[in-house]
Amino acid sequence: MEPKGETELGQISALLDNQINECKELLKEMRNGEGILYKTTMTVNSLGKIDVYQYIYFLCQHAKRHIVQMQKVTDEYSKLSEAE
């Protein structure tokens, strides 16, 4: 996802929440160690090869970080609007 200013913040937040839930479901489905059998390359921060569990966990944490960032921006904007 790339910000384009075309989608409302609530919709983006809901989409990220859905993606997090999908990732959690995938992790539940791979409870027998299947995730360590496959590696993928993570180009972010030059992490290199990581297993599927680590990759899905990274996606969850990354989405959560963006949700927090959006909330901070919303809070700051609200404070500015109240000050006017």
Res. 49: pLDDT tops 70: yes
In a domain? residue 79: yes
The pTM for the full model equals 0.70
Domain residues for the domain of 34 are 18-83
In a domain? residue 39: yes
Contact between 60 and 20 (Cβ < 8 Å): yes
Please state the domain count of the chain: 1
- Identify the residue with better confidence: 19 or 4: 19
User: What pLDDT is recorded for position 34?
Assistant: 85
Q: Which two tokens stand for residue 57?
A: 């966990």
In a domain? residue 2: no
The amino acid occupying position 60 is C
In a domain? residue 13: no
In a domain? residue 54: yes
Q: Which residues pair with 48 in a beta bridge?
A: 42
